[in-house]
Amino acid sequence: MKKIYFICTGNSCRSQMAEGFAKKAFSSEWQVESAGIEAHGVNLLAIKVMAEVGIDLSKNKSKIIDNDFLNDCDVVVTLCGDAKDRCPMTPPNVKKIHWPLEDPAQATGSETERMVVFRQVRNQISDLVNDLAASLQ
């Protein structure tokens, strides 16, 4: 089975959304997981914006990187500069991809204003995941 890992700093927003989209976009030949350098808990606004597109993250857990899984991956995608810089080394056969996405958890303002940022990042991730799935299958 092929494996793909989506990694960001806290495994709370971007990597969780990427995992949700990838589980729909990738074939059953792929094991899809996400993790963080740290575990910050799944962001409630990420859960809300994903529910808007029919993906349930409410039962997801924030996880830290599993080095055994990481080293056995076919593809590792980092979704922020911190994760790219701090991600443990991988074997040369692991394809590494970096998507420098804004951290929606850093958005300020009212919940409505923050939701706008979460939706923008969610839509970017959806497009990137779908393009990646099409290129790898």
Active site residues: 8, 80, 87
Pairing label, strands 75-78, 95-98: parallel
Nearest-CA neighbor of 39 among 78, 18, 71, 65? Answer: 65
What is the spatial order of strands in the sheet that 95-98 belongs to? 30-36, 2-8, 75-78, 95-98
Helix or strand holding residue 69 (H, E): helix 67-71
C-alpha to C-alpha distance for 64 and 9, rounded to whole angstroms: 9
CA atoms within 13 A on the CB side of 101: 32
